[in-house]
């Protein structure tokens, strides 16, 4: 009897989803237009690209996570997350390994069910709808293609399963291949392709499904630098041309900034902030968000404010900029590694003597690890810098770049220059 009732409940949910177009797929918009990259990023963040405008004419889809939490074996993987995503938008899930990005995507896709809360599509609860019945496409870190099939057949495979044949199928394959610049490679098989070409094939197979929701779980992580940069340039165009809800997981702040759109930062299973990517980067709401959205992590310095005096141990700081007007108490100053200098950038810079721990040279950049009164800092410097370990070195802090966090780690002041950071 219980199974019968569950079956009827699932059938009712599927009927509601059909009424809102969840199975029908998003309206495809293939007009790339000539918008500039900066404007594209703003449009993606607002969710009003040309693709989105066309989708609204054909019935857009909204995906809402409402206070969702998941627990496995008594361990909390996700905690009280609420997000609303609309057709034509790109949302980046940014966080370190094990922060909850993949777990959140699995909830969106229907692979897992929340322990608490709801997953809604246009207001309909889809918790009981299996992933096979949803309009979802996923691309993983490990590109998955059928090695015995040509690129053409790999792209066509989901539509063949759906029953599409003939000219309609061919037109869909050709369109997806053109979008991903695979047309000259349609007769090749995956072993004959580069890693980037294989990942583009996997992306094309996801696109051709016309899914309302496309989930990309660190799709570029296993590619070399050149291929990553190549696909990073192509992905914003892809987001504009399809008009679906795109969700992209990454551990790299640089990747989030390059892609634009909106960003949800995750820390230990919680979304710490959600908003336009540049806004989150420029004004992190707390220390966890600041650390997540800084690579290497943000540097911190504990200060005490008493009247007009700002001190960090024996170091006296000017009560100007973001340090002006602070109430008496203890705070943490945050500054990014690229705002810690070996040479004085201007007259306002504050000299500090720190102990040099080690220098990592990557070729075009050097990461200088420092210890200042027990606090570990990293300076990100351009070029090659040969510095002697375990030696005293003078570095400079730019007070115009200080973020200020209170004892509860909440942001209380941001630098005016954050708009250009």
For residue range 146-183, what is the model confidence (pLDDT) as tens digits?
899 999 999 999 888 888 889 989 999 998 898 888 99
Number of Cβ atoms within 10 Å of the Cβ of 242: 26
- Greatest CA separation found in the chain? 79
The total number of residues shown for the chain amounts to 421
Domain boundary among 282, 305, 326: 282
Q: Can you spell out the DSSP letters for 59-110? A: ---EEEEEEEEEEETTEEEEEEEEEEEETT-EEEEE--TTSSHHHHHHHHHT
pLDDT for residue 262: 96
Residue percentage of the chain with pLDDT more than 90: 56
Q: Are residues 383 and 335 in the same domain?
A: yes
* pLDDT, greater one: 143 or 18: 143
Q: Are residues 302 and 336 in the same domain?
A: yes
pLDDT for residue 418: 62
Sign of the Cα torsion 215, 44, 182, 157 reads positive
Statement: residue 142 has pLDDT above 90: no
Statement: residue 5 has pLDDT above 80: no
pLDDT for residue 25: 34
Q: Is 156 exposed, middle or buried (0-12, 13-18, 19+ CB in 10 A)?
A: buried
Any idea which of 81-85, 104-108, 196-200, 348-352 has the lowest mean pLDDT? 196-200
Taking the C-alpha atoms of residue 258 and residue 295, their distance in angstroms, rounded to an integer, is 14
**Which pLDDT band holds residue 13 (cuts at 50, 70, 90)?**
very low
Give the CATH number for residue 120: 3.40.50.300
Is 57 within the bounds of a domain?
Answer: yes
CB 173 within 8 A of CB 183: no
Statement: residue 274 has pLDDT above 60: yes
Taking the C-alpha atoms of residue 30 and residue 25, their distance in angstroms, rounded to an integer, is 15
Sign of the Cα torsion 388, 390, 395, 401 reads positive
Statement: residue 27 has pLDDT above 50: no
- Give the tens place of pLDDT for each residue, 380-397: 998 888 888 889 999 999
Is 248 within the bounds of a domain?
Answer: yes
Domain boundary among 252, 282, 312: 282
Q: Are residues 264 and 319 in the same domain?
A: no
* pLDDT, greater one: 6 or 359: 359
pLDDT for residue 8: 42
Residue 90 pairs in a beta bridge with 246
Give residue 405's domain range: 297-420
Statement: residue 409 has pLDDT above 80: yes
CB 38 within 8 A of CB 276: no
Q: What SS3 string covers 217-270?
A: ECCCCCCCHHHHHHHHHHHHHHHHHHCCEEEEEECCHHHHHHHCCEEEEEECCE
Q: Are residues 273 and 355 in the same domain?
A: no
- Extract long-range pairs of 42-47: CB within 8 Å, 24+ residues apart: 42/260, 43/240, 44/88, 44/89, 44/90, 44/236, 44/239, 44/240, 44/260, 44/261, 44/262, 45/89, 45/260, 45/261, 45/262, 45/276, 45/277, 47/86, 47/87, 47/88, 47/89
How many domains does the chain fold into?
Answer: 2
Statement: residue 56 has pLDDT above 60: no
The encoded tokens of residue 338 equal 């690229």
Order of strands, sheet of 116-121, starting from the edge strand that comes earlier in the sequence = 75-86, 62-72, 116-121, 124-125
Number of Cβ atoms within 10 Å of the Cβ of 224: 12
Among candidates 261, 225, 231, which has minimal Cα distance to 93?
A: 261
Is 169 within the bounds of a domain?
Answer: no
Give the CATH number for residue 334: 2.40.50.140
The torsion of the CA quartet 81, 83, 89, 90, rounded to 10 degrees, works out to -10
Any idea which of 97-101, 133-137, 160-164, 250-254 has the lowest mean pLDDT? 160-164
State how far Cα 322 lies from the chain centre.
28
Among candidates 121, 21, 12, which has minimal Cα distance to 62?
A: 121
Q: Are residues 350 and 396 in the same domain?
A: yes
Q: Are residues 127 and 266 in the same domain?
A: yes
Is 153 within the bounds of a domain?
Answer: no
Among candidates 118, 160, 107, 110, which has minimal Cα distance to 134?
A: 110
Average pLDDT over residues 45-71: 63
Is 326 within the bounds of a domain?
Answer: yes
Q: Are residues 303 and 369 in the same domain?
A: yes
Residue percentage of the chain with pLDDT more than 70: 85
* pLDDT, greater one: 192 or 199: 192
Q: Are residues 272 and 337 in the same domain?
A: no
Is 91 within the bounds of a domain?
Answer: yes
Average pLDDT over residues 268-285: 97
CA distances for 182 relative to 116, 175, 176, 190, 245, angstroms: 43, 10, 8, 12, 23
CB 411 within 8 A of CB 405: yes
pLDDT for residue 222: 73
For the entire predicted model, the pTM comes to 0.80
Phi–psi pair at 214, nearest 5 degrees: -120, 120
Inter-helix orientation angle 166-179/195-208, to 10°:
130
pLDDT for residue 421: 54
Q: Are residues 377 and 237 in the same domain?
A: no
Is 288 within the bounds of a domain?
Answer: no
Statement: residue 377 has pLDDT above 70: yes
Q: Are residues 94 and 227 in the same domain?
A: yes
Q: Are residues 128 and 253 in the same domain?
A: yes
Is 155 within the bounds of a domain?
Answer: no
Average pLDDT over residues 332-336: 97
**Which pLDDT band holds residue 58 (cuts at 50, 70, 90)?**
very low
Q: Are residues 275 and 403 in the same domain?
A: no
Domain boundary among 232, 255, 282: 282
**Which pLDDT band holds residue 407 (cuts at 50, 70, 90)?**
very high
């Amino acid at each position: 009897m219980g199974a019968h009732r569950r079956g009827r409940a699932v059938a009712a949910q599927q009927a509601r989803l059909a009424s809102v177009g969840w199975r029908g797929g998003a309206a495809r918009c293939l007009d790339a237009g000539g918008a500039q990259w900066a404007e594209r990023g703003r449009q993606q963040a607002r969710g009003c690209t040309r693709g989105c405008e066309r989708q609204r004419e054909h019935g857009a889809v909204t995906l809402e996570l409402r206070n969702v939490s998941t627990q496995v074996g008594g361990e909390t993987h996700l905690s009280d997350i609420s997000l609303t995503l609309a057709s034509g938008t790109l949302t980046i899930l940014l966080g370190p390994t094990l922060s909850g990005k993949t777990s959140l995507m699995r909830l969106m896709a229907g692979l897992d069910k929340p322990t608490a809360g709801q997953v809604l599509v246009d207001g309909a609860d889809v918790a009981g709808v299996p992933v096979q019945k949803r309009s979802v496409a996923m691309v993983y870190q490990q590109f998955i293609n059928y090695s015995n099939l040509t690129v053409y057949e790999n792209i066509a495979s989901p539509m063949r399963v759906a029953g599409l044949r003939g000219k309609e199928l061919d037109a869909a394959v050709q369109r997806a291949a053109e979008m991903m610049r695979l047309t000259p490679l349609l007769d090749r098989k995956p072993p004959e392709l580069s890693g980037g070409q294989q990942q583009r094939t996997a992306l094309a197979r996801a696109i051709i499904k016309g899914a309302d929701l496309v989930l990309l779980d660190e799709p570029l992580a296993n590619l070399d630098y050149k291929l990553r940069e190549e696909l990073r340039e192509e992905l914003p165009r892809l987001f504009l041309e399809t008009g679906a809800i795109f969700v992209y997981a990454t551990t790299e702040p640089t990747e989030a900034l390059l892609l634009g759109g909106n960003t949800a930062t995750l820390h230990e299973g919680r979304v710490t902030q959600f908003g336009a990517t540049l806004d989150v980067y420029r004004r992190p709401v707390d220390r966890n968000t600041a650390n997540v959205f800084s690579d290497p992590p943000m540097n911190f310095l504990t200060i005490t404010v008493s009247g007009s005096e700002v001190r960090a141990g024996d170091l006296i700081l000017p009560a100007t900029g973001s340090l002006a007007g602070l109430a008496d108490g203890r705070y943490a100053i945050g500054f990014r590694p690229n705002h810690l200098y070996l040479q004085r950038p201007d007259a306002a810079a504050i000299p500090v003597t720190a102990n040099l721990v080690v220098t990592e040279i990557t070729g075009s950049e050097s990461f200088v690890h420092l210890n200042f009164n027990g606090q570990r800092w990293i300076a990100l410097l351009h070029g090659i810098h040969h510095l002697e370990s375990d030696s005293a070195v003078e570095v400079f802090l730019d007070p115009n770049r200080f973020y200020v966090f209170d004892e509860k780690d909440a942001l209380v002041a941001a630098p005016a220059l954050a708009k250009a950071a």
